[in-house]
Amino acid sequence: MAQAEKNLQPMDTIPVDMLIEIFIKLPAKSLAKFVCVSKLWTKIIRGQDFIRAFSFHSPLQNKHLQPSLLLAFKDQVKGYQEHWYFFSKTTPLYEQNSLVQNINEVVNEEPKPKASDFVSSMVCHLKEMRYQKPSYVHGLISFLYGQEQVICNPSIGKSITLPAMESSEKIIRSFLGYEPIHAQHKVLCLTIAKPFCGLKVLTLGTQNCSWRMVQCSTPHYPGTIYVCIEGVLYYSASTSNWTVDETLLVRFDLVSESLEIVSVYPEGLKSLNETSLINYHGKVAVVSRLFPNYHDFNLWVLEDVKKQLWSKEQHISIDTGVTCKFYERLEISGTSDMGEIIFAPNKFEDFVVIYFLDLKRSKVRSAKLEGNTKHKFCGFYKVFTFLHYIESVMLI
């Protein structure tokens, strides 16, 4: 008996380095439970060193860090709350094993449905309605409800509300970014100020989680679209609050927290309606929808930031024929690791169809995603599709 008691060593006697090696290979949901084991485990899992190590860990060694698609479904607003449900589909979706067809061919065969994995759910209590669509960056999703900003970790279904601005400051735009050098998420917030707008930034997960002022040498009004690429936020802006004769592309470096106007929008872009910014093979690109066809787009890529050099306008159409017509309204989500442009609907029926367009080979493939036995897609109202989803240990 005495020998048995001697062999029962406290778990906190395991070397910290060994604990980190164990923790780093576990899913975020397990780590969220482990913070209740002991103060030491809580300190390790919530520490900046572990968060950074988890982010830098090789996806080949940790399947939970392999990129996948994240589907965020919104239920109808009930009273003063909004219900969100998150599903994912892992990397086999990116592989060349789905239906591949010539863009101009009519193909009767349809891809077999793929079941999506339920990740988590959450409820946002509304003080004001959401007027900016949610955005995803490196494991976290940002919601802006009027003057209240909510950051959610879909891996564990946990969210936090960011510190409020001063009463005299009114938020007009909020952008979530991630800089990989220090493995930090930051929020850039733009507020109404005279004569233009004020800018503040906040770093998530720090002890002093408060807003800091950002200097801006060129006054501007922010637009509604943005993208984060390799630690840099790009967003649209205008020199006037009333006209959009000259639309600017603004660059905010998340490491140095410096801001600059990098370019005007490319010539030939006649309207900012139905435009978006995407990550196109590591470069910022502007996508414009062509009316009345909801599946035709024009694409410009900023090839050289210093020279403000944009690529020639490129037309993209994803209509593949009568039997494969797309009845949903498609959105360009960005590019996959294989270089394909990914299209996804923002409304649906019983399933979600994702389209992968390879411009070099003029090929398109599709993947039909559906819910599972516990969670059917047909009960949801709207869907947002995010690329390169990985698990995060932020907010645990």
pLDDT, one tens digit per residue, over 19-33 is: 999 999 899 999 999
**165 and 306, same domain (yes or no):** yes
Domains held by the chain: number = 2
184 class by beta-carbon count within 10 Å (0-12 exposed, 13-18 middle, 19+ buried):
buried
> Phi/psi zone of residue 234: left (φ > 0), alpha (ψ -120 to 50 degrees), beta?
beta
Residue 301 near residue 307, CB atoms below 8 Å: no
Domain-embedded: residue 396: no
Residues constituting the chain: 396
Give the phi and the psi of residue 33 in degrees, each rounded to 5. Answer: -80, -35
31 & 108 share domain: no
In a domain, 133, yes or no: yes
**Are 176 and 216 within one domain?**
yes
Residues 322 and 205 in one domain: yes
Predicted TM-score (pTM) above 0.85: yes
For residue 134 the two structure tokens come to 């949610």
Query: What pLDDT shows up at residue 351?
Result: 83
H or E element: which one contains 39?
helix 39-45
Helices (H) and strands (E) counted in the chain, each on its own, are 5, 27
Q: What are phi and psi of 387, to 5 degrees?
A: -95, 165
Task: Tell me, yes or no, whether 14 and 76 share the same domain.
Answer: no
Q: Domain check: are 114 and 140 in the same one? A: yes
pLDDT tens profile 253-310? 999 999 999 998 888 776 666 789 999 989 999 998 887 677 888 999 999 988 899 9
Structure tokens at 22: 């164990």
Query: How many CB atoms neighbour CB 299 within 10 A?
Result: 19
| Predicted pLDDT of residue 364 | 83
Q: Quick count: other Cβ atoms within 10 Å of Cβ 139?
A: 23
| Rounded to 5°, angle at Cα 186 from 185 and 189 | 150
Q: Are residues 17 and 84 in the same domain?
A: no
As a whole number of angstroms, the distance between CA 17 and CA 21 comes to 6
The pairing of strands 309-310 and 247-253 is: unpaired
Q: Report residue 284 as tokens.
A: 């910022």
pLDDT at res. 340: 87
Token pair of 391, please? 């698990």
Same domain for 235 and 279, yes or no, is yes
Is 394 inside any structural domain? no
Q: Cα 315 from chain centroid?
A: 25
d(CA 143, CA 132): 7
Q: 11 pLDDT exceeds 80? A: no
Strands of the sheet with 197-203, listed across from one edge: 171-179, 184-192, 197-203, 212-213
* Region 50-64 average pLDDT: 71
Query: When comparing pLDDT for 272 and 354, which is higher?
Result: 354
167 in the same domain as 34 = no
Ranges 22-31, 233-242, 332-341, 363-372, most confident: 22-31
The CATH number of residue 238's host domain is 2.120.10.30
The tokens describing 343, both together, are 């299209």
Q: What is the mean pLDDT of the chain?
A: 82
In a domain, 40, yes or no: yes
170 and 23 housed in the same domain: no
Kindly state whether residues 174 and 286 are assigned to the same domain: yes
CA dihedral 163, 166, 172, 175 (to 10 degrees): -30
* pLDDT score at 128: 81
Q: How many CB atoms lie within 10 A of CB 115?
A: 12
Question: How do residues 189-210 score in pLDDT, each as one tens digit?
Answer: 998 876 667 899 999 987 778 8
With beta carbons less than 8 A apart as the criterion, state whether 110 and 326 touch.
no
241-252: average pLDDT: 75
In a domain, 395, yes or no: no
Contact 120, 157 (CB under 8 A): yes
- Sheet containing 158-161: which strands, arranged edge to edge? 130-137, 140-145, 148-153, 158-161
Q: Mark residue 184 as left, alpha or beta (left: phi above 0; alpha: psi -120 to 50; beta: remaining).
A: beta
Question: Does 17 map to a domain?
Answer: yes
Q: What percent of the chain has pLDDT over 70?
A: 82
Q: Is residue 357 a part of any domain in this protein?
A: yes
Give yes or no for a contact between 134 and 72, defined as CB atoms under 8 angstroms apart: yes
Beta strand pairing call for 283-289 and 148-153:
unpaired
Instruction: Give the range of the structural domain holding residue 6, as residue numbers without chain letter.
Output: 2-46
C-beta separation of 297 from 240 below 8 A: no
Res. 10: pLDDT tops 80: no
The answer on pLDDT for 101 being more than 50 is no
126 and 144 assigned to the same domain: yes
Whether 88 maps to a domain, the answer reads yes
Asked if residue 342 lies in contact with residue 330, where contact means CB atoms within 8 angstroms, the answer is: no
Tokens standing for residue 116: 């999506």
From the number of C-beta atoms within 10 Å of its C-beta (0-12, 13-18, 19+), residue 374 rates as: exposed
